[in-house]
Amino acid sequence: MRLCFAAPIRAKHKPLMAILFLIVFIDLVGFGLVIPLLPYYALHFHATPWEVTSLMACYSLAQLFSSPLLGRLSDKLGRKPILLVSLTVSVLSYLWLGFASALWMLFAARLLAGAGAGNIAAAQAYIGDVTTPENRAKGMGLIGAAFGLGFTFGPVLGGVLAGTNPDAAALARPAFAAAGFSATALVLAAVILKESLPAALRGRSDRPGRIALAQEAFGRPMLRHLIILFFLTTCAFSGLESTFAIWAFSGFGWGPEQVGWIFFYVGLILAAVQGGLLRRLSGRFGEARLTAGGAALLVAGLIGLPFSANLAAILIVMAVLSLGLGCLNPSVTSLVSRAAGAEEQGGILGVNQSAQSLARILGPWLAGWVYTAAGRNAPYYMGALIMLAVVAMAIRLPRGEKTA
């Protein structure tokens, strides 16, 4: 039944995948736009380093609860309604962020944005609906490329619009720009995007609830292994994301624009890897080997960053980190999707997204605390140790096609 649905839907919806790509891109623009602004929020609102990194974490705190709910609702109601609701929430959250005049308003706006960002699970489930198991990694690579481009343009948009002056950053402009992008994506999705989930697979009353679904996922050894692996990777990399702007500001005196261009560079590499190179690598090596190789590259990059004393060294290290993340993330997501049944794609991917959200809570909080307690390089040494554990886990993944 799964394959007979997949082929015609895939052919019919192929031109519309650009809209799905745009939706995910918009989410990552919103997530990334605050990255180069973090130290300057601290200057403007007199926030501590821990409060600054918590701005990243609170977004994921809301996403932690919204992802399984929106993923499961997409299994019941279809993918499109969930995507439309979440984009509406995104527009409202960015407007609130732009008008924020106190630190608590920043946190409230980011919580609302995170609640809407649970639509990533619905977008991944859309890919699962319209691809065969053999082409799943390529489809997830499309989502990964949208992640990469969103992560490219989010920080650089925030940095360019905010300016180069650390003492007079225009913090509202990036938020209003993101609201405009989200509104555009909402209109396009409403008018053009077609539903991918067949009516026969919607509204199953025998599906487990969110907690039961999480328990069921963790009761399957391979799913548990993959979700924990993804959790640890996200924890390590989110520590880098949330502290890099502070690290660069304290070490090199960089303003929002300089930090934004660094993340623009990272995003270009992610998009190139996940949008093109991954297809060839996946066919040659398989998802399990790409996961192990990507984890090893992340170890090398995290160890190398503290020793980067100039721009050239930082660019080399960031290229290594981007290549590792670009290989690892879509490969693990593909393995998770293939381990789930056709009727539970949204729910299982929602559980995986919630684990990632939990990591984006703990990663920045822990990195902010370690940064304050042990110095600006400490979060990266900690991240390298975490990724060594991921390498050990990835080596144990089966090399065959069967993942359930």
The string of pLDDT tens digits covering residues 70-115 is: 777 777 777 788 888 888 998 899 899 888 888 889 889 988 988 8
8 Å CB contact between 330 and 274: yes
Distance between start and end Cα atoms, the chain: 18
- pLDDT for the residue numbered 370: 92
Res 203: pLDDT: 59
Secondary structure E strands in 151-211: none
pLDDT for the residue 15: 53
For residue 401, the SS3 value is coil
Residue ranges of the chain with per-residue pLDDT less than 70: 1-18, 27, 31, 38-39, 42-43, 118-121, 128, 130-141, 144, 148, 164-169, 196-210, 213, 275, 341-347, 399-404
Other beta carbons within 10 angstroms of residue 220's beta carbon come to 16
For 54, 59, 238, 370, the CA distances from 362, given in Å and listed in that order, are 9, 12, 9, 12
User: What is the Cα–Cα distance from 70 to 119, expressed in whole angstroms?
Assistant: 6
Identify whether the C-beta of residue 98 lies closer than 8 Å to the C-beta of residue 179: yes
Say how far apart CA 34 and CA 40 lie, in whole Å.
10
Here the tokens at position 261 are 């261009």
- The CATH architecture of the domain made up of 2-395 is Up-down Bundle (1.20)
Residue 396 has which token pair?
Answer: 């144990």
Length of the chain measured in residues: 404
For a pLDDT cut of 70, what percent of the chain falls above it?
78
Q: Which of 84, 87, 80 is nearest to 182 (CA)?
A: 87
Q: In 3-state terms, the chain is what percent helix, strand and coil (to 5)?
A: 85, 0, 15
Instruction: For the chain, give the longest Cα–Cα distance.
Output: 60
Distance CA 367, CA 53 (A): 8
